[in-house]
Amino acid sequence: MRCPKCGGRLAGRGFAVREIIVLVAVIILGVALVMIALRHLRETYRRMVCGTNLSQIGMAMLIYVNDYGDKLPHAGGRDTVWGGRVIWDAPDHFQAYSLSADGSGGMATISSSFYLLLKYTKVTPKLFICPGDSGATRFKLSDYPMAKGKEIKDFWDFGPIPQKHCSYTYHMPYGLYPLTKSSEPAMAVTADRNPWIRSPATETKDFSLFKPDVPPWNGTTDQAKYGNAPTHKDNGQNVLFMDSHVDFEKRAYCGIDDDNIYTSWNGEDRIGGTPPALGSQPVSRQLVGLDNRVSSGIFLIQAAGD
């Protein structure tokens, strides 16, 4: 209609307060939904990149085992034990691992075993960083003055604090039962960070809050997810298996016979116990797992070098 007081121009009735409120609410809801979708996409992307990292690490391990007697990366000498940090910038491997003149003895770490892939295959440091691992950064020689003029292959570990530059756990390569090319295909080789080992940005979880959501424990979903790696919002973990395939496992009890890949063996499948003190070893050839310091069960060994 024409408004006589508007110079003959068309004029509407405008928005009522109620309509404005509804419009604002719709916009807010739309923004919220978009943010949720973006967070989901971001987490999916991180999960995919992490899985790709482990796949490429697995391929590098195949190259390594073909060149080094069918054994997976194992820093140190023939009878080196798991110990404290290696001397990452040592001039030779004898000093790096404190080896005797004949190559015996010495101590090495999980991260220094991973580092062998940098030295002897064509992988790059960025493969060892999960995008969801808060506090971890790609290892760069430019961050360390003592590395000036040198190359990645001249060193023996991911810097003086290796756990800051390596997001992944690894099986226990020291002791009686290291994994080899002929090991059981379903064995877990490496995976995301162990939730029971302190990471650069998070404290260890309270093990008492973890309860599997299967009989006889019958925990809730949240209690079960509490045993997952923290790098993927507790929703699960990427795991590289001996047959070279990578799966995103929604629960950490995904080892042989549903054993937990992050906990030590205590006679309880799926739950186990927290990683024990330094010096423990796998209890059998099948129960070799992925923790960060030691392995008295099936848990994966974290990449920390402490």
Helix (H) or strand (E) holding 47: helix 17-67
Residue 175 domain-assigned?
A: yes
Residue 239's pLDDT is 95
In this structure, is residue 210 part of a structural domain?
yes
How many domains are contained in the chain?
A: 1
- Structural element, H or E, at residue 289: strand 289-291
What lies within 8 Å, CB to CB, of 2 at 6+ separation is 8, 9, 10
Q: Packing angle between helix 110-120 and helix 17-67, nearest 10 degrees?
A: 80
Distance CA 305, CA 53 (A): 20
Q: Do the bridges between strand 188-191 and strand 169-170 make them parallel or antiparallel, or are there none, so unpaired?
A: antiparallel
Contact 165, 137 (CB under 8 A): yes
Q: For residue 43, what are its two tokens?
A: 């987490």
Task: Report the pLDDT value the prediction gives residue 303, as an integer from 0 to 100.
Answer: 43
pLDDT at site 182: 84
Report CA-CA distances (Å) from 263 to 184, 219, 303. Answer: 19, 17, 15
**CB–CB of 132/232 below 8 Å?**
yes
Asked, for residue 150, whether it belongs to a domain, the answer is no
Domain that holds residue 279: 15-73+129-141+162-301
Asked whether residue 284 is domain-assigned, the answer is yes
Whether residue 146 is contained in a domain is answered as no
Beta bridge partners of 240: 190, 246
Give the strand order in the sheet containing 246-249: 246-249, 237-241, 188-191, 169-170, 298-301, 289-291
**C-alpha 9: how far from chain center:** 67
Residue 23 lies in a domain: yes
Residue 86 lies in a domain: no
- Rounded CA gap, 127 and 304, in Å? 16
Which tokens go with 210? Answer: 């973890």
Q: Is residue 200 part of a domain?
A: yes
Q: Within the chain, which residues score under 50 in pLDDT? A: 1-2, 8-10, 291-299, 301-306
